[in-house]
Structure 1
Amino acid sequence: MQSNELPKELAARRIDRPVPLREHVYQAMQELIISRRLAPGQHLVESELAQMLGVSRQPVREALQWLNNEGWVDLRPGYGAFVHAPTEEEADQLLAVRSLLESESARLAALHADAEGIARLRDLNRQGSEALESDDVDTAVALNAAVHRCVTELSGNKVLLDFATQVDRRVRWYYTPIARQRGEQSWREHAKLIDAIENRDADGAAAIMKEHTERTRKSYLEQRVAEGDQQLIALPARRRRRASKA
């Protein structure tokens, strides 16, 4: 008869529950990048970041490596770490994929959303419009992301939700500098989308979402051109080795 007991070597293993400090530092720095408090191309100095976050340099160094692996930071030998400056092609590709994912999410949401989900969407949209009126850009950006996530959740498709979650942070990064530019028009488009979902107009909801995300993509690309975002970023002087004692 087969025993139901775990082997001793497995039973003895334990999972460390506390989140490592480097993960907290990683999350904090990622949010600073997404909110543009750390701007694209900005030089990141370990000692300054450590002081700002109230930690030692080691977890900052580990977080920078992690952020580099995920494309948020560029590590340049001899120069140091810099916030990644996305190219026009990178932004265009991600926002195009987002449009495809969220158009399908909207179509499915119109088929599956219940009254509670519709009410949640309307409440998020109301809060977002109020945040914009108060010029609270950070909150408006967060609520914009919440509206889009809610639509995907209401689609009932977990695979779509997983993919949308993967691109959510990048989308917030690109949306932040155009939140004011898109302004109240963006929230009116949300309201129109919610109406279509409530009316079970699947094709209409998909078309509205596609147009909505396409306008965001175009606004971002236009903003880059207007601000000359393609200019080369000046690098600081290379670090010099300490001169040997005479």
Structure 2
Amino acid sequence: MQTKTRTKLPKRADQADQVRMLTEAIGAERIDPALPYMPQVFNMLKQAILAIRLIPGTPLSEAAIAEVFGLSRTPVREALRELSTEGLLDIFPQAGSVVSRISVRLIEQGAFVRGALETANLMDLVTRLDSNGRARIEHIIGLQRQVLAAKDYEGFYAQDEAMHKLFFELTDRVPVWHIVNQGKQHVDRARMLISREWKESSQRAFGDHLRIVDALFAQDKVLLAAALAEHFARVKESVLAFSHISHQQFFVE
């Protein structure tokens, strides 16, 4: 469970303004009436928050969300509670909810968990990787190259996530990936901000990925450990530096 980081009491926002903002953030996604409503609302809002389409400090009212999705308030209220549990939303009784600020402390903790678990997993993958796994990794590297060439930085983030998840799929440890993913949500939000303003950060990350994959394919654990340590340190340092340089109102210690 995420440790909560409180954001300032939300300002009252016109519901029509919130509806417009939410509609833009959600995009073309729609509720499937054949599936449970709460998980769909939760996932759509969560992805909008992680992608910074809903920025820290954004007020979110049950009424506006219910209007956008065409639902009653009950599944919306449950989704907001779940987002609060994950540390992505602050709920103020009688005042509404607001997207939480990005926690520097949780960034540091998430980076620690990710570095430890991913490094251990990849060291094990060195001796377990087969030709099918190599082909799947090469495919994702190709997709990363394509989205970077198109300057699609949100697309690069998605393929970055896909690659790291694949590493856990190839060792049959997807539940461990879920632990890593849960712990790095504040890192992910900061990375999305960085990718918008420091375009070179995605290129550097791609270079790191190439070195990691080369070492993995060569079954060189020494080079792999070094490449991973450099990659995770670079991500952490760039995120922490960004938090003190740009958009400081989006961060909290």
Query: 2:157 aligned with 1:141, yes or no?
Result: yes
The residue identity in structure 2 corresponding to 1:211 is: E
Pick from 27, 51, 57 the counterpart of residue 35 of structure 1: 51
Q: TM-score, normalised by structure 2?
A: 0.77
Pick from 207, 220, 244 the counterpart of residue 188 of structure 1: 207
The residue identity in structure 2 corresponding to 1:77 is: P
Q: Does 191-200 or 148-157 show the bigger shift?
A: 148-157
| Distance of aligned partners of 1:152 and 1:21 in 2 relative to their CA distance in 1, 3 Å threshold | same
| Distance of aligned partners of 1:170 and 1:149 in 2 relative to their CA distance in 1, 3 Å threshold | farther
Q: What is the alpha-carbon distance in structure 1 between the residues aligned to residue 250 and residue 161 of structure 2?
A: 29
Query: 2:133 aligned with 1:117, yes or no?
Result: yes
| Distance of aligned partners of 1:106 and 1:59 in 2 relative to their CA distance in 1, 3 Å threshold | same
Q: Does 40-49 or 53-62 show the bigger shift?
A: 53-62
Hey, what does 1:9 align to over in structure 2? Answer: none
Count of residue pairs the alignment pairs up: 216
Describe the SS at the equivalent of 2:248.
coil
Identity of aligned residues (%): 26
1:67 Cα deviation from its structure 2 partner: 1.2
Describe the SS at the equivalent of 2:57.
coil
The 5-angstrom pairing of residues 1-246 of structure 1 reads 19-157=35-173, 160-167=176-183, 169-179=185-195, 180-230=199-249
Q: Deviations over 1:122-168 (max 9, x none)?
A: 21012112112212222211100011111223345566445334436
Superposed CA RMSD in Å reads 2.3
The residue identity in structure 1 corresponding to 2:179 is: F
The residue identity in structure 1 corresponding to 2:141 is: N
**Rg larger in structure:** 1
| Distance of aligned partners of 1:122 and 1:85 in 2 relative to their CA distance in 1, 3 Å threshold | same
The residue identity in structure 2 corresponding to 1:144 is: D
Q: Give 5+ residue unaligned stretches, structure 1.
A: 1-17, 234-246
Q: Are the equivalent residues in 2 in contact too, given 1:32–1:38 (CA < 8 A)?
A: yes
Q: Are the equivalent residues in 1 in contact too, given 2:38–2:75 (CA < 8 A)?
A: yes
Q: Deviations over 1:164-201 (max 9, x none)?
A: 34436555333222233412121111111111111111
Q: What is the alpha-carbon distance in structure 2 between the residues aligned to residue 162 and residue 142 of structure 1?
A: 15
Q: Give 5+ residue unaligned stretches, structure 2.
A: 1-33
| Distance of aligned partners of 1:158 and 1:45 in 2 relative to their CA distance in 1, 3 Å threshold | closer
Q: What is the alpha-carbon distance in structure 2 between the residues aligned to residue 35 and residue 228 of structure 1?
A: 15
Q: TM-score, normalised by structure 1?
A: 0.79
Q: What is the alpha-carbon distance in structure 2 between the residues aligned to residue 152 and residue 204 of structure 1?
A: 20
Describe the SS at the equivalent of 1:41.
coil
Q: What is the alpha-carbon distance in structure 2 between the residues aligned to residue 153 and residue 97 of structure 1?
A: 18
Q: What is the alpha-carbon distance in structure 2 between the residues aligned to residue 82 and residue 154 of structure 1?
A: 38
Hey, what does 2:23 align to over in structure 1? Answer: none
